[in-house]
Amino acid sequence: MEAVQIRRKKDGRINIKVGNKVDQVVTWTLIILSILTIVAFAFFNYAGLEIKSAMTETAYNLKVMFLQPAISHFSMEEAIYQMVITLGLAFLATVIGAVIAFFLSLMAAANLSNKWTVRIVRVFVAIIRAVPTVLWVLIFAIAAGLGSEAAILGMLFHSVAYLVKAFSEAFEEVDKGIIEALQATGANWWHIVTRGVMPSTFTYLLSWVFLRFEINFGVAVAMGAAAGAGGIGFELFMASGFYFDLKEVGFITYGILIIAIVLEVISTRLKKRYFPANSN
C-alpha cells in the first residue's frame, strides 16, 4: 500500500501526492546508482578485449571445472581433514562469540538494562558490525600474525556484534507481563533472565547462532588463504592461484557446496522443529 498525502492549497484546491519521502529517497538512490553504473561502463578500457574468444575460454574453463572435477595435489583424506579444519574455525568463532554476545545482549536489551548501558553497548557493537568480517580478520592477521588465531579472532569480533543485535532484539520481544509477574514475586534480575527471558527466547537464539555459523563457514573458506588460517580455503587458493588446476578447483567447490547444503538442511530441520508456524 502506497502512502497518500492529501494537502489543501491556499486557493482551496486539493493536492494529492502518492508515496512518501522514504519511497522518493529509495527511487532517486536507484536512479543515481543506475546512472553511475552506465557511466562506469562507458569509461572502461576495452582495448584488446575480444568478447568472442573471452566467452569461449570462459565456457571451456567452466566445463573443465564443473564437469571434470578431480584432485591431484592432495588426497581425499587430506581434503576431508582440511574441510574439518574450516568447520572447526567457524565452530569456535561461533560458539565463543555466542557466549560473549549473550551477556552483552542482556546489557543491550532495553527491558533488562538501563538506558545508558543500552546506548553504550549498542554503539560499540554497531561500530564493530560496520566493519566487514574480512577486514577484521586482516586486521588481526597484522596484529597477531598469520594463522588460525587471526581468523578466529576476526570472525569472533564480528560474530559478537552480529549476535548482540539479534539476541537483544529477541529479549526485547519478551512479554512485559512475564517480567512484571516475576518482579512482583520478588525475583531478582538474574532469576528474571533465567526463568522468564531464556525460556521464551531460547529457540530464537539457537536459530540465530546456527545462521551465524553458516556465515562463519563461508568466511573461514575465504580467509583460509588471506589470513593463513589453512583449511579448504587455502587448498582452493593454491589450486586456483598457484597450480591453476581447474579440475581441482571444481572438486573443492563441489565439496564446499555439499557442506553448505548439509548446513542448510540442518537449519531447515531446526526451523521446522522449533518454529513449525514459520516453516512453510
Q: At what angle do helices 198-226 and 246-274 cross, to 10 degrees?
A: 180
Residues 253, 202: one domain? yes
Mean pLDDT rounded to a whole number for the chain: 82
Kindly state the cell numbers that stand for 215. 556465515
Question: Which H or E element spans position 198?
Answer: helix 198-226
Question: What integer is the mean pLDDT of 104-129?
Answer: 89
Where in the chain does DSSP place strands (E)? 4-8, 14-18
Residue 50 lies in a domain: no
Residue 186's identity, in one-letter code, is: G
Q: How confident is the model at residue 274 (pLDDT cuts 50, 70, 90)?
A: low
Question: In Å, how far are 98, 100, 112, 193, 238 from 119, measured between CA atoms?
Answer: 20, 18, 13, 20, 45
Q: Residue 214 half-sphere exposure, CB side, CA atoms within 13 Å?
A: 16
Helices in the chain by DSSP H: which ranges? Answer: 21-42, 51-67, 76-108, 115-130, 133-144, 148-172, 176-184, 189-192, 198-226, 232-237, 246-274
Residue 128 lies in a domain: yes
Residues 11, 87: one domain? no
Residue 53 lies in a domain: no
What domain count does the chain have?
Answer: 2
Residues 86, 222: one domain? yes
Percentage of the chain with pLDDT > 90? Answer: 13
Boundaries of domain holding 118: 68-278
Residues 19, 128: one domain? no
Distance CA 171, CA 174 (A): 6
Residues 82, 165: one domain? yes
Predicted confidence (pLDDT) at residue 18 exceeds the cutoff of 70? no
Predicted confidence (pLDDT) at residue 96 exceeds the cutoff of 90? yes
Question: In Å, how far are 101, 159, 184 from 96, measured between CA atoms?
Answer: 9, 9, 35
Residue 89's identity, in one-letter code, is: L
Q: How confident is the model at residue 279 (pLDDT cuts 50, 70, 90)?
A: very low
pLDDT value, residue 163: 93
Residue 61 lies in a domain: no
Residue 118 lies in a domain: yes
> pTM of the entire structure?
0.75
Predicted confidence (pLDDT) at residue 280 exceeds the cutoff of 50? no
pLDDT value, residue 139: 83
Give tens-digit pLDDT for 221-251.
Answer: 887 776 666 788 888 888 887 888 888 888 9
Question: What integer is the mean pLDDT of 73-85?
Answer: 87
Residues 73, 34: one domain? no
Residues 101, 17: one domain? no
